[in-house]
Amino acid sequence: MTDRGLNKNDKMGAYWMPFTPNKAFKAAPRMLESADGLYVTTTEGRKIFDGSSGLWCSALGHNHPKVTEAIRAQAGKLDYSTAFQFGHPQAFELAEILAETLPGGLNHLFFTNSGSESVDTALKIALGYHRIRGEGQRTRFIGRFNGYHGVGFGGISVGGMVNNRKYFGAQLPGVDHMPFPYDASMHNSFGQPESGAQYADELETIIALHDASTIAAVIVEPVVGSAGVYVPPKGYLKRLREITKKHGILLIFDEVITAFGRLGYASASERFGVEPDLMTMAKALTNGAVPMGAVAAQSAIYNTYMDGVEGVELFHGYTYSAHPLAVAAALAAQRAYKEEGIYENVRENEQYFGEAIHALKDAHSSITDVRNIGYMSALTHSRINDVPMSRSSKIFQRAYENGLKVRVSGDTIAIAPPLITKRRDIDLITDMMVKTIKEVD
């Protein structure tokens, strides 16, 4: 017996799609069949520019030959290996490469399979770290309004996007949230807003409320991604670092989107010159070709575990941690980023990209705010008849029909092309956006 046909728009009901209005999608599906470089191809054979890099993943574009070949070769050699009590040499090699790539003392890598798992892993590492040091009462976490840290219970607890939390009552206890460091005075800033660092001082208020001795860690996205690309005001992250350090609280940077070139550097931490205690990564780690995430920990944290616990130092891990295919993809991607000057390409063209995106304001008065940094950008659109997402979702669909894949989140359209994107491709993106915005009107 099946009831798959009962729901009139749900003829494709067997697949319960994530973060998707299932009924609307299944009534008018957008189906992709293949991809290459900057383009994806639909099942009808239409080529679409991937203006969202998959989902912030495909830094090298799609089907990069070095990544594809590495996965192919690995699949025929060691298809799977447990990471519990066994290792394979490439996992150690990848950890070494990442330790060299990431700033300062972020020298120890724990492998996961996604951004959500990386976040929950980082939160657990923070709790364990304090406990081993004899400060087991430090159990609170501080996140931020509008933060996105994946969909695990830890991630939604420290996250601050309402829809991701409101349906799911049970969350981590003892979590508080800092205010969102953005206001109308920062609208249309090019890159980092000049003022706004004082938003970090709100952390002192929250710390005073709970007492520092109860707080394990503060977690933020250095650049807010999923909520619509919000760039930190100048000095804001540095101040967060100073305050957390002063109170013995760990600082976690969730770099699932920003790690590996999105900002023209290996990490946002490097770009902003602020070193967290723990850093989460995923997405471009493998160019998105095989699921993989990672947490980088400062040596002081790793050494606390190594010196403080006998036997299994961290009771945590995943069946697919350091999966050989993911590791092969990550090694190939990391090498390609260096060999092919991918971060340099973003740095060379960031100004051009930012100016092109800001110029879209001229296309229509419906654009109320434009934000950019590196190859991340977003346009906020006014609503039609005050209905949330009324204009942005139309722009998202029309852009797709016009040959451009973008990301819609609330009233915001995010444009974040693969990091191999050149100036002529940026022109193409903005031409398609101007046409789209005018057509939607």
Ligand X SMILES: Cc1ncc(COP(=O)(O)O)c(C=O)c1O
Which residues sit at the interface with ligand X, rule CB under 6 A? 114-116, 119, 148-150, 221, 225-226, 254, 256-257, 282
Q: Of all residues in the chain, what percent are helix, strand and coil, respectively (each to 5)?
A: 40, 20, 40
Q: Do residues 33 and 42 touch, judged by C-beta distance below 8 A?
A: yes
Cα angle 253, 259, 264; round to 5: 120
**Residue with smaller CB distance to ligand X, 38 or 256:** 256
Q: Locate 42 and state its tokens.
A: 């639909």
Measured between alpha carbons, how far apart are the two ends of the chain, in Å?
Answer: 47
**What backbone phi and psi angles, to 5 degrees, belong to 149?**
-130, 40
Taking CB atoms, the residue at the shortest distance from ligand X is 115
Q: Locate 14 and state its tokens.
A: 């067997």
Q: Do residues 359 and 380 touch, judged by C-beta distance below 8 A?
A: no
User: CB 222 → ligand X: shortest distance, Å?
Assistant: 9
User: CB 55 → ligand X: shortest distance, Å?
Assistant: 6
The conformation of residue 309, written as its DSSP 8-state character, comes to: -
User: CB 308 → ligand X: shortest distance, Å?
Assistant: 28
Distance (Å, whole) CA 144 – CA 159? 7
Q: Do residues 362 and 338 touch, judged by C-beta distance below 8 A?
A: no
Query: DSSP string spanning 421-435?
Result: --HHHHHHHHHHHHH
Helix (H, G, I), strand (E, B), or coil: what is residue 81?
A: coil
**Residue with smaller CB distance to ligand X, 282 or 404:** 282
Distance (Å, whole) CA 298 – CA 107? 6
**Residue with smaller CB distance to ligand X, 119 or 437:** 119
**Residue with smaller CB distance to ligand X, 119 or 218:** 119
Residues whose CB falls within 8 Å of the CB of residue 90, separated by 6 or more in sequence, listed in order: 74, 324, 327, 328, 331
User: CB 136 → ligand X: shortest distance, Å?
Assistant: 27
Cα–Cα separations (whole angstroms), residue 35 to 4, 66, 289: 30, 15, 12
- Give the length of the chain: 441
Q: Residue with structure tokens 């929950």?
A: 120
User: CB 254 → ligand X: shortest distance, Å?
Assistant: 4
Cα 314 to chain centroid distance, Å, stands at 25
User: CB 250 → ligand X: shortest distance, Å?
Assistant: 17
Distance (Å, whole) CA 427 – CA 357? 10
**Residue with smaller CB distance to ligand X, 140 or 149:** 149
**Residue with smaller CB distance to ligand X, 116 or 146:** 116
User: CB 46 → ligand X: shortest distance, Å?
Assistant: 26
**Residue with smaller CB distance to ligand X, 164 or 393:** 164
**Residue with smaller CB distance to ligand X, 117 or 425:** 117
Helix (H) or strand (E) holding 412: strand 412-415
User: CB 148 → ligand X: shortest distance, Å?
Assistant: 5
User: CB 376 → ligand X: shortest distance, Å?
Assistant: 11
User: CB 281 → ligand X: shortest distance, Å?
Assistant: 9
**Residue with smaller CB distance to ligand X, 159 or 196:** 159
Environment class of residue 248 by beta-carbon count within 10 Å: exposed (0-12), middle (13-18) or buried (19+)? middle
**Residue with smaller CB distance to ligand X, 114 or 334:** 114
Q: Do residues 155 and 119 touch, judged by C-beta distance below 8 A?
A: yes
User: CB 385 → ligand X: shortest distance, Å?
Assistant: 30
**Residue with smaller CB distance to ligand X, 225 or 233:** 225
Angle between helix axes 342-359 and 423-440 (nearest 10 degrees) is 30
